[in-house]
Amino acid sequence: MKLNKILPLILLLVFNMGFAQQGKQNGKKINNKKIQVVDSIKVSKISEEFSSTFLATSIKDSTVFDLKDMAIARKKDSLWLKELYKSDLFEDIYNTVADQNFEAVDYDELPTEVLKQRLKELDARTPFKVEYNQSLENVIKQYLKNRRSSLERLMGLSEYYFPMFEQELDRNNLPLELKYLAIVESALNPRAQSRVGATGLWQFMYTTGKMFGLDVSSYVDERSDPIMATEAACKYLKSLNNSFNDWDLALAAYNSGPGNVSKAIRRSGGKTNYWSLRDYLPRETAGYVPAFLATMYIFEYAEEHGFKKQTARIPYVATDTIKVKQQITLDQVAKLTNLDKEELEFLNPSYKLGIIPVVKNENYMLRLPLTSVGTFVNNESAIYAFAQEEVQEAEKPLPELLEQQDKLRYRVKRGDYLGRIADKYGVSIAQIKNWNGMRSTTVKVGQNLIIYPKKSAQDIASNKSVAQNNTSNSSEKTYTVRNGDSLWSISQKFPGVSVQNIQKWNDISGDKLKPGTKLKIYKG
């Protein structure tokens, strides 16, 4: 008998034995409604993967069945997901472009003559002016020498985003190489936000996004929607190229606005070559096109330079969308589909609070891996019932027991939203709203929230004590802020220290610093 005929029988036997054993242990059926809803979804998911016979058996038994996983493997997988999906490269790239250094570096692995030949090949197959000059060579070599690990991570993320970009660029008859612009703009972080408020993969300001059909509400920021933002970017880039009839100038205008490019042309006496206009453009724009061309070169010749791409966990083509019929949170979807929350946030970055609303005349979608779409569709009614029940439970008056529990006061920091805070303390968004008498899910930096965490106060105090002990074991330094310092420039002075580290150690929510301020810096 063939293996594919034997395997379902073995699986059926194993799972039925498991049900029988569990029935003996329980002694009676469990009737808790919430558990049954979760159970029915998980059973349905198993049935799709194995056999219809197993589904019939499990439903008939109606006992609670939960797939178990190796805890250590699950933890490793979760940490890997966070590493893959974290988007901490934006600040570094933003500052690198704004303060682009054109000084020469030693990098013998790329001889000048080899670079000239490759740039000539690139120039022949793209409408951009990919011409050799010393400044471009210096930028390319700086990237190859100093940004290797971050470029490899970006190559892994590009496996997900680039097919999406290429599809829309091709539809608009635009150069496919424009996909590299999103790396320079946002480091492929759909939630990236610049200091002036530009947001998303393509860094749209609020007003410019509105011009090209991107709406922003309390729940949704369409500038962070990868598909909608890419469509808007294509329209904007096409209009800029129609105006300047030159892709280098169109890119410069995308970064600093068409007005600044027009002024640079006037101040230069009528020059229209980007490299001749650079000295007349804003500082950030002067480093913008070189950063784009350097990124394009490295991605096109990644193999020749020995880059090892981190494979995308989910290819874009292996995902699909579902129109949401009732308000639901990503936290609830994660529970009911057995997906990691980080994965759902990565696939659905436009939902600012982790909540997918249902609004008249709007079609808000939930993007899921194809392997989970069937599970969701087959169990929609149960999923929405579970979500509604959670909301109703959270909105009930606080019981006296809860009032006696230890509570903590949480001060909202920059970048916080209710979904993140709720996840941190193992509670729901609705509970936080109820505890604090909040009508909306909007929070402000500096706002104090009452939280009744699932962990006891003793656990929290213990964790805090451990953290303090770990800190005391580190080498602490004091840095005095000088004129012209920024969090990023200070972080560069201390290897292994990030902007986020400095903010956390010194309880800083913004990025403004006063000269003379004493900052704690820990090493080790």
State whether 191 and 263 are in the same domain: yes
The answer to whether residue 80 sits within a structural domain is: no
Structure tokens at 212: 């090209």
Give the residue among 403, 378, 395 at the shortest CA–CA distance from 322: 378
The answer to whether residue 318 sits within a structural domain is: no
Determine the pLDDT at residue 94. 64
Burial of residue 359 (CB within 10 Å: 0-12, 13-18, 19+) is exposed
Instruction: Give the pairing type, strands 355-356 and 328-329.
Output: antiparallel
Give the residue among 281, 87, 106, 295 at the shortest CA–CA distance from 201: 87
Q: Which residues are catalytic?
A: 185
State whether 275 and 134 are in the same domain: yes
State whether 436 and 479 are in the same domain: no
The answer to whether residue 366 sits within a structural domain is: yes
Per-residue burial over 426-457, b = 16 or more CB atoms within 10 Å of its CB, e = otherwise: ebbbbbbbebeebeebebeeeeebebbbeeee
The answer to whether residue 178 sits within a structural domain is: yes
Pairwise CA distance, residues 122 & 296, whole Å: 9
Pairwise CA distance, residues 307 & 148, whole Å: 8
State whether 285 and 191 are in the same domain: yes
State whether 25 and 43 are in the same domain: yes
Pairwise CA distance, residues 404 & 339, whole Å: 34
The answer to whether residue 371 sits within a structural domain is: yes
State whether 357 and 490 are in the same domain: no
The answer to whether residue 314 sits within a structural domain is: no
**Among all chains, which residue has been given the structure tokens 């057995």?**
338
Which residues are paired to 216 by β-bridges? 221
Q: Which domain holds residue 518?
A: 474-523
The answer to whether residue 378 sits within a structural domain is: yes
Determine the pLDDT at residue 247. 94
Burial of residue 82 (CB within 10 Å: 0-12, 13-18, 19+) is exposed
Q: How many CB atoms lie within 10 A of CB 468?
A: 10
Structure tokens at 21: 């054993």
Check which CATH number belongs to the domain holding 190 and give it. 1.10.530.10
Cα–chain center distance at 384:
26
**pLDDT less than 50: residues of the chain:** 1-77, 80, 84, 399-404, 456-473
State whether 383 and 267 are in the same domain: no
The answer to whether residue 305 sits within a structural domain is: no
Check which CATH number belongs to the domain holding 433 and give it. 3.10.350.10
State whether 162 and 254 are in the same domain: yes
Per-residue burial over 5-25, b = 16 or more CB atoms within 10 Å of its CB, e = otherwise: eeeeeebeeebeeebeeeeee
Q: Is there a contact between 81 and 313 (Cβ–Cβ < 8 Å)?
A: yes
Query: pLDDT tens for residues 1-12?
Result: 444 444 444 444
Give the residue among 298, 202, 192 at the shortest CA–CA distance from 255: 202
Determine the pLDDT at residue 337. 84
Q: Is there a contact between 486 and 459 (Cβ–Cβ < 8 Å)?
A: no
Continuous segment of H or E residues that includes residue 421: helix 418-425
State whether 199 and 117 are in the same domain: yes
State whether 224 and 360 are in the same domain: no
Burial of residue 53 (CB within 10 Å: 0-12, 13-18, 19+) is middle
Determine the pLDDT at residue 58. 32
Contacts of residue 258, defined as CB under 8 A and 6 or more positions apart, other chains included, come to: 240, 243, 244
DSSP string, 28-75: S----HHHHHHHHHHHHHHHHHS-HHHHHHHHHH---------HHHHH
State whether 92 and 211 are in the same domain: yes
Determine the pLDDT at residue 22. 43
State whether 214 and 296 are in the same domain: yes
The number of folded domains in the chain is 5
